[in-house]
Amino acid sequence: MSENDLRTRALRYHAEPVPGKIAIEVTKPCETQDDLSLAYTPGVAAPVREIARDPLDAYRYTAKGNLVGVITDGTAVLGLGNVGALAGKPVMEGKGVLFKHFGKIDVFDIEVNAETVDEFVETVVRIADTFGGINLEDIAAPRCFEIERRLIERLDIPVFHDDQHGTAIIIAAGLLNALELQGKKLEEVRIVCVGAGAAGIASMQLLFALGAHPGNVLLVDSKGVITTRRQDLNEYKQAFAVDTDCETLAGALRDADVFIGVSGPDVLTPEMLATMAPRPVVFALSNPDPEIRPELALATRDDLIMATGRSDYPNQVNNVLGFPFIFRGALDVRARRINTEMHIAAVHALAELAREPVPLSVLEAYGLDALEFGPDYILPKPLDPRLIDVLPPAIARAAIETGVARAPWPYGEEKKLEAGS
């Protein structure tokens, strides 16, 4: 399909038969005068009084408990950069489609014109009562780190920046499985991450929480390895600065076990790949053009396991494996936040699901005859129907165990046992 054909089809898809991709539906009958008297005045006064008396009753009488705000400032929209808040709206609507389709969660997309972190944070804080959770989206680093931190501090509902933590969770799950297949341990491997923005920094933080050794990790940005000698680092990069003589990506990759790319196309050359340790793992996640093409990587090394961000290659690192189900579990127990323990629960649930026999429905959905845990299958497929049965209970259980849940286990005894509780 040519680029012009794709553009034409995409524009028609978004414009017809009605503009946009999401809408609001009415969930209660509105056929009679009595229905209307319950939906609005005078009947609506009853839940208003209950919520005024106890704000938690909003979860009982309104859509708050199944409603997520997908919020952006438009400063880092996909690979398009700072296109502005309004231009980011199609992406936010698309995120709403994924929340609804995969997690059965409703979404209001909110595009915020905010020049400063203060303006953005204040806007979100003032509208947060509407929602059961906040999904931050397409906000440029480093402001995204400060925005998320301040919103978590001020709000009592989950705040989750998917470009940070969603990406990190999927990377970590895939990496655990790839390392097992390669006969290596996370605690021992040398990792090089190219890209020191939201996804790169969050991914390394999560890998540390899972057991990776900070001394074995080199973070690389557009100016080279992040070392203690550099004077141009913001506070978030400084946390990853190491005392090393290595300054270039090429130097960093010599004898490295893992390459994680969240940067841009073609930064990993065959010559660099050839210098990596035996049985390397390469996650080239720049999309649509990865840091190295799989065809080129596999022609260079036949002992590697590779993942990309693309759906037309094996092992797609796709955030839809995470955020709809993470929020589903968090909302089901009315969690106050999504914490590191919940991230880790999602990582292990995803990794373990990929090791299970694949249902026939998944094979049919992807036109495959067979699929099993191995070098070309280290992560579940997005259309795997088991995701909603496995991830939300794992998230809910972690929320309950860490004391951030406000509602009891909602899944029934059978799923409680399946989750290991």
- pLDDT for 99-151, tens place per residue? 999 999 999 999 999 999 999 999 999 999 999 999 999 999 999 999 999 99
What would the two tokens of residue 256 be? 């490295």
Q: Are residues 176 and 262 in the same domain?
A: yes
Is 95 one of the catalytic residues? Answer: yes
Q: Buried b vs exposed e over 382-395: b needs ≥16 C-beta within 10 Å?
A: bebeebbebbbbbb
Q: Specify if 313 maps to a domain.
A: no
Q: Are residues 200 and 146 in the same domain?
A: no
pLDDT on residue 1 = 65
Q: Are residues 149 and 203 in the same domain?
A: no
pLDDT on residue 419 = 43
CATH code assigned at 127:
3.40.50.10380
Q: Which residue out of 13, 21, 28, 40 is catalytically annotated? A: 40
Q: Are residues 330 and 349 in the same domain?
A: yes
User: What's the chain's average pLDDT?
Assistant: 95
Q: What is the C-alpha to C-alpha distance for residues 163 and 321, in angstroms, rounded to an integer? A: 13
Q: Specify if 238 maps to a domain.
A: yes
Q: What is the per-residue pLDDT across 197-236, written as a single tens digit (0 to 9) for each?
A: 999 999 999 999 999 999 999 999 999 999 999 999 999 9
pLDDT on residue 421 = 42
Q: What is the C-alpha to C-alpha distance for residues 144 and 147, in angstroms, rounded to an integer? A: 5
pLDDT on residue 288 = 87
Is 236 one of the catalytic residues? Answer: no
Q: Specify if 314 maps to a domain.
A: no
Q: What does the angle CA 255 – CA 256 – CA 259 come to, to the nearest 5 degrees? A: 145
Q: What is the torsion angle, in degrees rounded to the nearest 10, for the CA atoms of residue 354, residue 330, residue 318 and residue 171? A: -70
Q: Are residues 34 and 150 in the same domain?
A: yes
pLDDT surpasses 90 at 18: yes
Q: Domain of 153?
A: 3-157
Residue 126, amino acid: R
Q: Are residues 265 and 335 in the same domain?
A: no
pTM for this prediction: 0.94
* Confidence band of 413 (pLDDT split at 50, 70, 90): low
Q: Are residues 148 and 48 in the same domain?
A: yes
Share of the chain above pLDDT 90, in %: 95
Q: Are residues 333 and 410 in the same domain?
A: yes
DSSP string, 186-250: TTT--EEEE--SHHHHHHHHHHHHHT--GGGEEEEETTEE-BTT-S---HHHHTT-B--S--SHH
Q: Which residue out of 64, 89, 95, 381 is catalytically annotated? A: 95
Q: What is the per-residue pLDDT across 283-337, written as a single tens digit (0 to 9) for each?
A: 999 988 999 999 999 999 999 999 999 999 999 999 999 999 999 999 999 999 9
